[in-house]
Structure formats: C-alpha cells, structure tokens
Chain A
Amino acid sequence: MRKQTFSALSLIWRGLSGHRSWQQQWRKPEPKTRYDAIIVGGGGHGLGAAYYLAQEHGLSNIAVLEKGWIGGGNTGRNTTIIRSYYLFSESAALYDHSLKLWEDLSRALNYNMMFSQRGVMMLAHTVHDVQVIKRHVHANRCNGVDNEWLEPAQAKAFCPPLNIAANIRYPVLGAALQRRGGTARHDAVAWGYARAADALGVDIIENCEVTGIRRDAGGAVAGVETSRGYIQARKVGVSAAGHTSVVMRMAGVQLPLESFPLQALVSEPIKPIFPCVVMSNTIHAYISQSDKGELVIGAGTDAYTSYTQRGALHINMHTLDAICELFPEFRRLRMLRNWGGIVDVTPDRSPIIAKTAVPGLYVNCGWGTGGFKATPGSAHLFAWTMAHDEPHPINAPFTIERFRDGNLIDEAAAAAVAH
C-alpha cells in the first residue's frame, strides 16, 4: 500500500472532504519467527534506530518490540526541551548532531514535528552560577555550538514574564541563551519515526514484552523470548530507557545504571504568554508553553530508585516554589495534571550507546533526565553502531568501558544536577 504524504494541499483537500480518507499510519503486523535485527523498546530512540537501520543501512527485516504502546513511555512523558549546550566536547558533538537532525526532521520524515526553535535560556542565580554558565558559553562557542551570555535586562527582554527583581531569594544574575534550542511535539517524534520506518518495511509490534534473551553456544545473541512467542535475531538493540537494567539482565549484562522517577506537570491552558524555554538548574525549574497553551513544567528526580512511574509530591512543590518566584503572575494558575517517568541514570550523567560483551547485543541507555532532545541523534548513532558492529566516531566515547578506564564524560559534575 502506497503511503499517503502530508502536504498543505492534502490537509486542505482531506479537511474539506470530511477527514474520512486518511490511512492508518502504520501496520499492526504479527511478529515473524525471524528478523535480521530487533530493537527492544518502541520509544523515539528505538523507532528512530529502526528507521535509520532501514533507511541508511539497507536492512529491511527489522522489528521494534514494545511492551506497551509506542511513545507511551518517556517519549510521551518528557517536557520536550531541545538544546545542545553541553560542556564537554564529546557531549557537545553528540547533542549538536541531534539538534542538526531535528532541524531537518519534519522534512525528512514528511511529518510535522512542530519543531520550534524558540530559544532555551538557562538562568544564573549565584556568583558561582555566573562563572559556570559563562564557562559553558565559552566552551560551546569553541565547539561551534551557539550559546550567548545575557545580562538580566536582556534576559527580561527575551522572556518578558521573568522576574529580575534583585530582592528575591535567588535573583537572576544573568542567563545563557541558545537561540537554536526550543521544543518539539513529543508524540509526533514517535509517530513520525514509526510511520517512516513502517513504510520501509519495519514491523512495529506493540503489546509485545521481551521476557528473555537467548544466547547460542558461543555466547552470541540468538533471539528473544517475548509475551508473543520466541523470535530469532542475531542482532538485538536494547533501547528500553528506565527498564534497560531489567532487559539486559536477561542476557547476564550488568550496567552502571540506576532508575529514578522523574516528574513533570502542566497547568491549565492559557493564551500565549511564554515565548521561550527557561531552565534553572540551581532552583530546579524548567518551563515552556505548549501550543495547546498549557505551561509545561519539569521537576527533578526523586531521591530514591523506583519503577513506580510516580514521584513524591514535595518534588513538584519545590519546583512550583521556584516557578512562582521567577514568574509571579503564574501564582494563581491551577495545575492540571502531573505524572512521572522512569529514567535510567549513569554515574557521570552521560549516555551509553555501545556494543556489549555479548556478541550481537547492543545497548542505548543512560539518557537519564535529558533523552528527548537527543532522540534523532541517539537513534542515528545507535543504528550505525548496530549496522557496522562498531561505534560511529561521535558515540565512540560513550561506551560501558569508560567507567573501567576512567574516561568519564562527567556532565554530572558540569551541570551539578539533572540536565
């Protein structure tokens, strides 16, 4: 079946004809008994990896196995912030690779990502913040990543609701602004990659939980046990976010990961008032406004590991304290809903996109609290790694062995908190 393409003309035409002629966006196939490659996890990272395996590396017999529904995990639970101003050269290369893919993604997939480069502003509240953030700005510029320092009045001009009064508990002493940063529609990322991968013959199999990984006599991957039967595959890529430890344990691989709940919340929808994304690591507030009008607010991780997909209320209260001080006019807004996702965090807060000690088993994990922005880049590099059985130069530093060899990419120390 030929895929419908989206265009202004097709939207108008099908709109006028009652929206009755839209096709299903992807098939619902039964799992085959054998695939050349299997991706475990149908979030943006996994679906994207399947798409790039098919599109760039010529594999056609690929399945994505998702235990729930696609995009129902962290892809649908994040605050959609996209930026690339990381301190270390390895990270800057990785995240900027992703940002460059974002810039062309809607066209490449023929799917509206609602990608909006409205600018991401990171606030400084203390003398230490000012020093660290200016260091970030300089490091970014050396790495060819746009980032600029704003004085408080300039920050206020860029984001009028911002309170720059000097007498608040954590006054705004300045900010770094990445103008190329912004937001995208989270569901569209999963749906767009799913539709494009499906068109290239990838089987997207929902409600299919991986329950075991079989290995042959030589120790290499032979296939996966699932809730819908055994499926053979010589290449298995695990892209299961907070559940990566659980899946990798099935192959006897232990990882330097801990899983934490990370929460977010949205307000009731209001008219457009907030023109950009504002982040503050120091007082833990992340805020933007969705196209629907809700203020989308990100909170921090809980202080203990958990798989519950809910977090403690005081974490949200802490974030709302910060939001109310920075944006006093939001004090009377009501919050509509809050939720949690389970994020897998590495000791250095940098991801792992790598081969494992098990031949044919690959892992893409450790994105922690900041995986959404990396979706296209992560998927692209993971597909490369699986296709070539060796990492792309950009993800070569992001191995499991870096912990043994002492080559940490310590964004944990660079950002001090979740990023």
Chain B
Amino acid sequence: MEFTHGGEAHLVRPSPPAQVDDDTWTRFLYMRDNLKGVYAERWRHARGCGQFFNALRDTTTDHFVAVYKRGEPRPR
C-alpha cells in the first residue's frame, strides 16, 4: 500500500494535559464524526516520502475531492 489511512483530520490535542477534563480527553481520543459524505482525513505517503498530509474524500464513493498539507485549513 503506497498510502495509508490516518483517521479523522483536524483533531486538536487538548492542552495543557493536566488541566484537561475527562470529557475533553474522551472527545479527542475516541469520538469521531465518521461522516457519510465528504470527510477530512489524514493520509500518509507510507511507501514514499513518509509524510502525513490531509485529504477530502467522499466516503460514499471513495473519490478524493482535494488534497492539502497538514496544518493548512480545510479547503472550501
């Protein structure tokens, strides 16, 4: 597999850890939108440069709609 799936994108790790409550940790660690439709995801070029990047993919067709760098906002 040249590209591997890295799960939902734009999840921000809560901080500082000692002051984060359990519900916020739960949302970050476990809760997922799991959208049916265009979904922003992390992907990794595992058999290439090894970098993570973000992509918009339609989960009803598996077609990629857009690709963008990690850290960049989700394209409109």
Contacts and interface: CB of A to CB of B under 8 A. Distances in A.
A256 B62 contact: no
A403 B30 contact: yes
B69 to A, nearest CB: 20
Contact of A258 (B23, B26, B32): B32
A338 interface: no
A245 interface: yes
A403 B29 contact: yes
Contacts of B25: 404
Interface in B11-40: 22-23, 25-27, 29-36, 39
A347 B35 CA distance: 17
Contacts of B1: 303
B49 to A, nearest CB: 19
Given A243-B36, A403-B26, A305 B31 contact: no
B62 A258 contact: no
A117 interface: no
A305 B59 contact: yes
Contacts of A405: 22
Interface in B44-67: 59-62
A308 B61 contact: yes
A118 B29 CA distance: 41
B10 interface: no
A415 to B, nearest CB: 19
B4 A404 contact: no
B31 A255 contact: yes
A245 B34 contact: yes
Contact of B30 (A243, A304, A306, A347): A347
A257 B36 CA distance: 12
A82 to B, nearest CB: 28
B33 A307 contact: no
Interface string A257-277: 111000000000000000000
Given A254-B27, A404-B22, A404-B26, A303 B4 contact: yes
B33 to A, nearest CB: 7
Interface residues of A, number: 21
A145 to B, nearest CB: 28
A403 B27 CA distance: 9
A189 to B, nearest CB: 26
B39 A305 contact: yes
A165 interface: no
Given A308-B59, A404-B23, A246 B36 contact: yes
A304 B41 CA distance: 10
A304 B34 contact: no
Contacts of A245: 32-36
Interface in A301-352: 303-308, 344, 347
Given A254-B27, A403-B26, A404-B23, A306 B59 contact: yes
A303 B46 CA distance: 13
A254 B36 contact: no
Contacts of B59: 259, 305-308
A303 B62 contact: no
Nearest to A308: B62
Contacts of B36: 243, 245-246, 259, 307
A125 B62 CA distance: 35
A194 B23 CA distance: 39
Contacts of A254: 27, 31-33
B22 A307 contact: no
B26 A308 contact: no
A306 B34 CA distance: 9
A306 B33 CA distance: 13
Interface of A: 243, 245-246, 249, 254-259, 303-308, 344, 347, 403-405
9 contacts: A245-B33, A255-B32, A259-B36, A305-B5, A305-B39, A305-B41, A307-B60, A347-B30, A403-B26
Given A254-B33, A307-B60, 8 more contacts: A255-B31, A258-B32, A304-B5, A304-B41, A305-B5, A305-B39, A305-B59, A403-B30
- The 3 lowest CB-CB distance pairs between A and B, nearest first, are A304-B5, A245-B34, A256-B30
